[in-house]
Amino acid sequence: QVQLVESGGGLVQAGASLRLSCVASGGTFSMYGMGWFRQAPGKEREFVAAIGSGGSTNYADSVTGRFSISRDNAKNTINLQMNSLKPEDTAVYYCARTIGSRTSHITAGYAWWGQGTQVTVSS
């Protein structure tokens, strides 16, 4: 049974930084791709960033240059460093594990999800 637990969300002002973490349990963490998605009220869940089993990364255009995803296989953890936050980054952020080793930018590519952590950016 795979479990994903996010942490690090909060309320910050525009321009600030936050670091989200996701700890995984169950399965062999290093073999799988991992991703971050977010969902704002009234909107569909959208891709933010992903990291493959080999460390390759990709990002949504809206966060490129501001967000950075990383993984620590020894700790079964991925992190999302978010800098220069904007009010439009406000959402619940979800950690997810892919079905295989490759990443995906669509939700269907992920089989397990965390419960989410709220990020609120005030103007």
Q: Is the pLDDT of residue 27 over 90?
A: no
**pLDDT for 40-83, tens place per residue?**
999 999 999 999 999 999 999 999 999 999 999 999 999 999 99
39-45's contacts with Cβ under 8 Å and 24+ in sequence apart are 39/91, 39/92, 39/94, 39/116, 40/90, 40/91, 40/92, 43/91, 45/94, 45/107
Q: Is the pLDDT of residue 110 over 90?
A: yes
CB 90 within 8 A of CB 11: no
**pLDDT for 1-20, tens place per residue?**
899 999 999 999 999 999 99
